[in-house]
Structure 1
Amino acid sequence: MRSSLFLAVASAIIASVAAHDGPHDTPETPSVCLTTPSDASCSTYSIPNATITDAIADICKTSSFLPGCSLNTACSADSTLNATYCAPLSILATLCSAPDDGALTGAACTKTYSVFCASNSLIPACKSQRAFSGLPSGKVVTGTVYSVCQEMPMMTDCKICPGPDATTGYSICDEVKAWKGLCLSMPDMTQCPSFNTMCKNTTFAPFCDAKYVSPSGNNGSTTTTTGSSATPTPNGQTKPSSAGALVGSWIMTSLLAVVAGVSAFAL
């Protein structure tokens, strides 16, 4: 009787520790809306943020000079900027809606944005979070900067960008920064109508305000979580840290030893 009682108590403790140890990772089934966005259920669907930000990161890790990547950097660095321009889906739309840049963005866009925000998509955000209006493709910005700097190489902002790469046709630099500096310095240049039109129709300071400075000490590239021993998993759940797992394992082992000893004593 006494042995059964001890075993029951020990089992309850072990179960409690196991429950505290956290849920096991379980794979999530992708929503039908990410592959068939015309399905009726998609009229209330929200695209997971990670699906969008992963696609942006996939493009910008190798093509950070694209205007959409400059937009992503600016938005990451300043949380006070207008969400009209900085919604992650708007940034991805900006990258994927520039046909001239398809050679660089196509691999990521054709399996993400071009699918779930196709013309027949019923996902609400695809209609409300559009591409940045007036922001040209990287090809256009590269061409503009190169043209200006061929004519007036002594302009200060020509130092930002080298000539276009012979293989890709892009200048591997902060193209938008050079474009902004050149066209704000001499807005009447024949190469600057697209810049002037964009900035006439937008209040996005990082691209259009010569006096704008992003907040210091925040480059928007990393996210740090403090005060937690949990590690993010791909499906958004958390799992214990290595130290937590070792402690949990030690507790489990100790409890099992106690149970074995009590059982032997009772017999």
Structure 2
Amino acid sequence: MRSSLFLAAAATLLASSVSAHPGHDDAASVCLTTPTDPSCSTFTFPNATLSAAIGDICKTSSFLPGCSLNTACAADASLPATQCAPLTILATLCTATDDTAVTTAVCSKTYGVFCAANSLIPSCKTQVAFPGLPSGKAVAGAVYSICQEMAAMTDCKICPAPDATGYSSCDQVKAWKGLCLDMPDMKQCPSYNDMCKATPFAPFCTAAYVAPSTPTTSSAPAPSPSGDHSGHGSGNSASSASSVMASGAMTLLSVALAGALAL
């Protein structure tokens, strides 16, 4: 009789311990699909969710300025968090209206859902698109226009003429940067000059900038020990905490079973 009571109490302890600490994935799934849920007012994105969306766009459309931003941030961890937060990179890709033909497939299922206008997720309002960075189509047009007029410029070798979609399969921002730094007074460069005046992001605006020879990360910047650019580390912390609690509960159950068998 005492053995049965002992086992029942242990089972109850295990169930209550696990149910009291639901996994972070449950909270994430709510806010990633229904960002108007009240719980989303304190939600922070799992870094992997944002990195996956960025990767899905950039693996087929690496010529987009947001992908150039992602590459620059991945290569140099010392760059400002303001520009390199994964949500900022995704926002840069998904809010460029001229580029929707190549981004909608991903953005309509990710950023367009969890950062919709009525979203309660705080970082959607604070980590916005890179200010002044044009769409990929606008950059391609500017580069092509410059090189039609000044074909001998060195950076005209970077990009071919845009294809039927309006893009060049190249690092369009690199070409734009080089051309407008060489001749900043060209009529195609006011947007570049304004962007760099407002946000002097070194990889895009500084002629002498050289990225580290060895990339510091393989994708969007990873969370730092003291808290990442958008609170992304909290998802892993919550998951780890739940695992620890579940492990502890299993240990208690094992002890209970041993005690029961000894009676």
In the superposition, the TM-score normalised over structure 1's length comes to 0.72
Matches within 5 A, 1:23-62: 28-29=25-26, 30-62=28-60
Identity between Structure 1 and Structure 2 (%): 70
Stretches of 4+ moved more than 2 A in 1? 26-31, 219-223, 235-238
Residue 7 of structure 2: aligned partner: none
Matches within 5 A, 1:160-179: 160-166=158-164, 168-179=165-176
Shift of 1:128: 1.1
Matched to 2:46, the amino acid is P
Matched to 1:57, the amino acid is G
Contact 2:56 2:106 in 1 (8 A): yes
Instruction: Say if 2:65 is the partner of 1:67.
Output: yes
Q: Per-residue CA shift, 1:8-33, capped at 9, x if unaligned?
A: xxxxxxxxxxxxxxxxxx99445211
Q: Distance in 2 between matches of 1:109 and 1:190?
A: 33
Q: Distance in 1 between matches of 2:88 and 2:219?
A: 20
Matched to 2:147, the amino acid is C
Which of 133, 136, 139 is 1:138 aligned to? 136
Matches within 5 A, 1:1-267: 28-29=25-26, 30-166=28-164, 168-218=165-215, 220-221=217-218
Aligned CA distance change for structure 1 residues 101 and 222 (closer, same or farther; 3 Å): closer
Q: Work out which structure has the larger RCO, using CA pairs closer than 8 Å and 6 or more positions apart in sequence.
A: 2
Aligned residues: CA RMSD: 2.0
Shift of 1:39: 1.3
Matched to 1:198, the amino acid is M
Gaps of 5+ in 2: 1-22, 221-234, 241-263
Which structure has greater helix proportion? Answer: 2
Shift of 1:221: 3.2
Gaps of 5+ in 1: 1-25, 224-234, 239-267
Shift of 1:169: 1.5
SS of alignment partner, residue 163 of structure 1: coil
Q: Distance in 2 between matches of 1:217 and 1:150?
A: 36
Shift of 1:220: 3.9
Matched to 2:86, the amino acid is P
SS of alignment partner, residue 185 of structure 2: coil
Q: Distance in 2 between matches of 1:36 and 1:131?
A: 22
Q: Per-residue CA shift, 1:75-111, capped at 9, x if unaligned?
A: 0000000000000000000000101000110010000
